[in-house]
Each structure stands twice: as structure tokens, then as C-alpha cells.
């Protein structure tokens, strides 16, 4: 990966299992473009390449950058 800041994504699959990974913006954009397609998609994560069967992906949750520490609001 280059200087892209990775984001945590959680990918849900048909049948219930989930997978969490940290991916850069271009890898996330590539995944979003591939969703709805068929076959396999290689997702380049921070520390691995993940092969996803696109027909089994039911959601992709992208964590926002705004994390809060402590109590209150």
C-alpha cells in the first residue's frame, strides 16, 4: 500500500460469518465497484490479500474516522 490511510471494514457473508480488515481507499473503491458482480475479487488489505466470493457478500461496513474516547457526548 502507498500513503493511503487504511480504514477498518467489516464484510458480512451469506450464512452469517464476518471478516474484519484494514484496507486503503483505493482497495475499498475497487471492492465497492466489484460488489454485485460474480466470481472472485482480491481485496488488498493492510497485511494480507483476501479472496472474496462476490455472490456471498451481503454487506460491507466501513468504520468512520471519528472515534471517541471516554464518556459524555
Q: Which domain holds residue 12?
A: 7-62
CA neighbor of 9 nearest in space, from 38, 31, 37: 31
Whether 57 is covered by a domain: the verdict is: yes
Give the number of domains in the chain: 1
Q: CATH number for the domain including 22?
A: 2.30.30
Q: Please state the pTM of the whole predicted model.
A: 0.80
Q: What is the pLDDT of residues 39-66, one digit of tens each?
A: 999 999 999 999 999 999 999 999 986 5
Contact 56, 34 (CB under 8 A): no
The reply to whether 71 falls in a domain is no
- Find out whether 43 and 52 touch, Cβ atoms under 8 Å: yes
72, part of any domain = no
**Does residue 36 sit within a domain?**
yes
Amino acid at each position: 500500500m502507498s500513503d493511503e490511510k487504511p480504514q477498518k471494514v467489516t464484510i458480512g457473508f451469506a450464512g452469517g460469518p464476518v471478516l474484519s480488515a484494514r484496507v486503503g481507499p483505493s482497495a475499498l473503491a475497487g471492492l465497492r465497484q466489484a460488489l454485485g458482480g460474480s466470481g472472485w475479487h482480491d481485496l488488498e488489505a493492510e497485511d494480507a490479500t483476501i479472496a472474496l466470493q462476490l455472490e456471498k457478500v451481503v454487506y460491507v461496513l466501513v468504520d468512520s474516522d471519528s472515534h471517541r474516547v471516554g464518556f459524555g457526548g
